[in-house]
Amino acid sequence: MPTILGQNQYGKAENRLVKVVRDGDTHHIKDLSVSVALSGDLDEVHYSGSNAHVLPTDTAKNTVYAFAKEHGIASAEAFGLLLARHFVESTEPIQRARIRVEEYAWERIAPGAGEHAHSFVRTGRETRLAQITYDGEGFEVLSGLKDLTVMNTTASEFWGYIKDRYTTLREDYDRILATSVTSWWRHSWDGGAAQPETEPETGRETEPEPDWDACYARTREHLLRAFADTYSLSLQQTLYQMGSRVLESRAELDEIRFSMPNKHHFQQDLSFCGIENQAKDGAVYHAADRPYGLIEATVLRDGARARIPVDLTNL
Amino acid sequence: MPTILGQNQYGKAENRLVKVVRDGDTHHIKDLSVSVALSGDLDEVHYSGSNAHVLPTDTAKNTVYAFAKEHGIASAEAFGLLLARHFVESTEPIQRARIRVEEYAWERIAPGAGEHAHSFVRTGRETRLAQITYDGEGFEVLSGLKDLTVMNTTASEFWGYIKDRYTTLREDYDRILATSVTSWWRHSWDGGAAQPETEPETGRETEPEPDWDACYARTREHLLRAFADTYSLSLQQTLYQMGSRVLESRAELDEIRFSMPNKHHFQQDLSFCGIENQAKDGAVYHAADRPYGLIEATVLRDGARARIPVDLTNL
Amino acid sequence: MPTILGQNQYGKAENRLVKVVRDGDTHHIKDLSVSVALSGDLDEVHYSGSNAHVLPTDTAKNTVYAFAKEHGIASAEAFGLLLARHFVESTEPIQRARIRVEEYAWERIAPGAGEHAHSFVRTGRETRLAQITYDGEGFEVLSGLKDLTVMNTTASEFWGYIKDRYTTLREDYDRILATSVTSWWRHSWDGGAAQPETEPETGRETEPEPDWDACYARTREHLLRAFADTYSLSLQQTLYQMGSRVLESRAELDEIRFSMPNKHHFQQDLSFCGIENQAKDGAVYHAADRPYGLIEATVLRDGARARIPVDLTNL
Amino acid sequence: MPTILGQNQYGKAENRLVKVVRDGDTHHIKDLSVSVALSGDLDEVHYSGSNAHVLPTDTAKNTVYAFAKEHGIASAEAFGLLLARHFVESTEPIQRARIRVEEYAWERIAPGAGEHAHSFVRTGRETRLAQITYDGEGFEVLSGLKDLTVMNTTASEFWGYIKDRYTTLREDYDRILATSVTSWWRHSWDGGAAQPETEPETGRETEPEPDWDACYARTREHLLRAFADTYSLSLQQTLYQMGSRVLESRAELDEIRFSMPNKHHFQQDLSFCGIENQAKDGAVYHAADRPYGLIEATVLRDGARARIPVDLTNL
């Protein structure tokens, strides 16, 4: 046979799931999109079409809903851990499961005195992300976010760059810096896989799960504050400050990767009609769509191994 | 000539504009998309291609940016009023101008003690809308919003409907009610056009502009609270409650129109694996994309004439 | 009661439907999105939540699928006529039904000698549109299309326009003209409603349905050819030529409306690096996203009444 | 320093470029989106904000347009090769350049007798993709496509799969198989990097560039025909057939990867109203949006090393 099968996986993507928890009259909700990808001993389904080793993607979908009801959704990460382990441990040919979760944020209508117990409005803020991979030995847990759109209206410069035949850009000492952050960060926690010899009896129990929700909230806060606090000479510098702030503040994280478009805001030239439009006086900007700068980088704890894929956006 | 020209208009759409106002070290921003549509004595450009009566759309774009710098942006509506009047009064063949504005909301990073003076994060909440039309006589001002996504996890029923040969739906006494509200409301204010005879000297000055921002904030709040407060027997009933609450509370508004998709959340049947999934215990739902119910209606102050277009979404 | 209900309608939107017809081994497909909007005696569902007059939108969905199987889909328009009449005639409180259809085009894989009898590839060309309205008396049939994207790389000029304080645009004697056509056209056919007195016995039968598919194919062809044939001094002139060509060629149509964005292609200035970039030599252009010119107009057969809504895009 | 910089790259994404070539009165067009990503000696811009090694993304944009005019666009791949080499060879700190190209297809209006020499309509068919990477030693060239949407209305079965507690799916012996293909394939051609020692004098010239356009056209054709020809027992089987057909037919390719959503078409159950809806008679299907199956795999020439990233869609 002149051709062979390489890496492969399959599953059900974008299971849209809302779970309501009733605590007396007070309701709580989780609003998720859950994607399952499975791999293992699956050569034959590719070579001959035999489905003997295939758990249908329809079953994966049913499992997601059933697990949400049976086990609840403590957090995006905790739910992913349950699902990933289930698929590998319950289905013999499946040797690896990857669960990706998107979570959409809602808040109560009229918080405060008139707060409603079962009425919600979607906030529209960034989408929370989680990816859990299990291979029968240990877990890899990534958390992240996308569409966190931020802007500094000053405290950003760009100058001192290479000029060549094709350079027309003018140096700028007071520009808008805006981006829409996509970021993934990796937890060192692996469910205990790393130390099987040293504590053979207790196994995974020696490493309790981190508080995923608290970690997310703090990381988000660090990202925002680092973006705001950095007097920026380049978007790369801001990115690195955001990454290092997160790793320095969250000991449980080893690595963080960013994909940050430079959402250009061009100062409109109004001199044609005699109007000065200077940043120092408060200016008018054209918010451009395309093309856009795109800055991507990983920040690592010294000694850690980079494991987050380099391509966070479409190939 | 067997064919003639009917209604026509032209202009520049989606001018993406960010305006920074500096108040010492504290910055304020407006983030808008502004669309201009002009009509008037424009037959010849259609019949012969003569542009003698055409103000180029590129000039409309320049005007939007120049006005933002020269006059500032007090609010979406106030900015639209300035632009609409300008195009009609400054360009002889233009007899009518319609300005549409979308406004995107931002909030400061780290509000409270650590609040940043020039750093912002986009909230992602609903998009604010405004449409100002001026015909040389008076103004018509519509305000509105889109993508205000809300959910009640209980207090919603649906039963007692017509059954025919094609009906399979089961009656439901405890369902999720969710929608994404698009709404436009019309202000009675017209800049004084209505009473030119009674107060000839003072003209428009007799009718100061309403406080557009306050009106928007209150209307949004009424919409949310009415959605939350209504024990719903149908989405139509909820819609009507939302509209009448707004008109009863805001004397300056005469009419409000809604386009509200019923974002179906189907209770997942898990009986196949022996799991009960009852609303009363907190259930798991499948959030469906398509098809969706679509409920559209106008609510009017008694005696008012309906003027908001019926079609808020694409024809 | 200080507020009253105005125009209202409800239904199920975007029922995604694929119908296969087997003609021996040769299969044919229709791929549609069907949206139903119903109105009538529906005050009570808004005022009190009584659903006694409500045919559920879920039933509307079921009806669409059942009709596709029972009656087939001769064309988008013919299918819409069947559905619109059904809802009005079978459900007492429903007095008006509007059916909108989007149709997606597919072609056979490997046409010619190796043509496959049941294998298709989506063409991705424009989306065909139809809207049928029935009020118990007569029909109104609109047909149309969207996303028909066309470009002339020459034979387009723009000059002789108004200049004011805000004008910077240079006159251009050789520019790219590109647009993405959205258009609706109205058939004079109304199912016989217009002449009930003159031919009371025969009624609708006196007016057989037009050949909707042929009309669509020819109208599309006229639009393309008129766009290509017109030496353009403005996009408005091109639009009018397209409309009048259609009405002059298709006697069964009375009116056509267009919404045509001017998809700007800006000649890139490369003089900074000593490169000439002239249209006459074949130039490089930047295809811009936003803002864009937007040209909208109706062309009417002389004497016809305009009935297509002015707003083809979102309010 | 407790944190360090990992993999990083930056550039200008989605430069939207249209190039016209005039051949007498006959015009030809290329319509591309070009994205540039550069890496190299860029630590300092991250650590300190020094831009001394940074070629601005604005310059990258200018270069794309200038190269299109100076060198023309023989094909997506050939254009990418020129750009990739330029950035690495002309800018000392840049050691690696990756150029991604999307190409949109147009055809002449009214082909045949009435063919227009400078008028085009966008076909809307799949988007062609190319990615060229250069590291100063050799090239890696990937070609591909996305949004190639195909459907078999029969000759597809799915049965014999694993059943567990969560399985409800019924086996199906005659189903619709539809997918939207995203695929990348890798050329063995590397510009001569592989044999520098054996032919030191001639270098890259010993390996002329393949005919990229012909390769694309044939590969697309093989994908379509393999999809159509395969009697499918699973989408995985169809995928493998598509991949092996391509590799067996195109000796210049070593590897191909697919991401293929299973676009579910569910046979509508109409038994509730007494209508049979059987595949064998031509059935009505509901085309579902989400969730969807997602099948991803690589097919390799035996002995080749897999180098195409596993994740073709967003992480």
DSSP β-bridge partners for residue D261: D294
> Residue A10, CB half-sphere, CA atoms under 13 Å: how many?
28
| Interface TM-score (ipTM) > 0.90 | yes
Interface contact A283, partner B, CB < 8 A? yes
Mean pLDDT of B16-25: 97
Q: By percentage, how much of chain C surpasses pLDDT 70? A: 95
pLDDT of residue B194: 53
Q: What is the mean pLDDT of chain C?
A: 94
pLDDT of residue A207: 80
pLDDT of residue A79: 98
3 state SS of A208: coil
Mean pLDDT of A146-167: 98
User: CA of B142 to nearest chain D CA: how many angstroms apart?
Assistant: 35
pLDDT of residue A204: 46
User: CA of B239 to nearest chain A CA: how many angstroms apart?
Assistant: 15
Q: What is the mean pLDDT of chain A?
A: 94
Mean pLDDT of C303-309: 95
pLDDT of residue A115: 81
Interface contact D15, partner A, CB < 8 A? yes
Mean pLDDT of C10-38: 98
Mean pLDDT of C91-101: 98
Which residues on chain D are in Cβ contact (under 8 Å) with B165? 273
Interface contact C289, partner A, CB < 8 A? yes
pLDDT of residue C112: 74
pLDDT-derived band at D206 (thresholds 50, 70, 90) equals low
Q: What structural domains and CATH numbers belong to chain A?
A: 9-136 (3.10.270.10), 143-315 (3.10.270.10)
Identify the residue among C12, C34, C103, C151 best suited for mutation to test binding to D, counting D beta carbons within 10 A and taking the highest. C151
pLDDT-derived band at A199 (thresholds 50, 70, 90) equals very low
Task: Please say if the pLDDT value at position A149 is more than 80.
Answer: yes
Q: What is the pLDDT of residues D58-70, one digit of tens each?
A: 999 999 999 999 9
The verdict on a CB contact (< 8 Å) between B3 and C131 is no
Tell me the whole-structure pTM to 2 decimals. 0.96
**Which chains does chain D touch, 3 or more C-beta pairs < 8 A?**
A, B, C
To which H or E segment does residue A143 belong?
A: strand A139-152
pLDDT of residue C20: 98
DSSP β-bridge partners for residue C61: none
Residue type at A108? R
pLDDT-derived band at B1 (thresholds 50, 70, 90) equals low
The verdict on a CB contact (< 8 Å) between A282 and B120 is no
Q: What is the pLDDT of residues B55-73, one digit of tens each?
A: 999 999 999 999 999 999 9
pLDDT of residue C276: 97
pLDDT of residue B311: 87
Interface contact B69, partner A, CB < 8 A? yes
pLDDT-derived band at A264 (thresholds 50, 70, 90) equals very high
Cβ proximity of C299 and C256 under 8 Å: yes
3 state SS of C305: coil
Residues at the binding site of D for O2 are 57, 262
Task: Please say if the pLDDT value at position C144 is more than 70.
Answer: yes
Q: What is the pLDDT of residues B222-277, one digit of tens each?
A: 999 999 999 999 999 999 999 999 999 999 999 999 999 999 999 999 999 999 99
Task: Please say if the pLDDT value at position D186 is more than 70.
Answer: yes
The verdict on a CB contact (< 8 Å) between C55 and B10 is no
Task: Please say if the pLDDT value at position D153 is more than 90.
Answer: yes
Closest by Cβ to C298, choosing from B7, B296, B301: B7
pLDDT of residue D14: 97
Candidate from C182-196, D130-144, D166-180, D228-242 with smallest mean pLDDT: C182-196
Mean pLDDT of D225-248: 98
3 state SS of A90: helix
Mean pLDDT of A196-207: 51
Q: What is the pLDDT of residues C237-276, one digit of tens each?
A: 999 999 999 999 999 999 999 999 999 999 999 999 999 9
pLDDT of residue B193: 67
Interface contact B289, partner A, CB < 8 A? yes
Task: Please say if the pLDDT value at position C53 is more than 90.
Answer: yes
pLDDT of residue C255: 98
Matching residue, tokens 């299969």: C27
pLDDT of residue C197: 46
Which residues on chain C are in Cβ contact (under 8 Å) with B229? none
Q: What is the pLDDT of residues D5-27, one digit of tens each?
A: 999 999 999 999 999 999 999 99
User: How far apart, in whole angstroms, are the C-alpha atoms of residue A102 and residue A184?
Assistant: 12
Closest by Cβ to B153, choosing from A20, A224, A229: A20
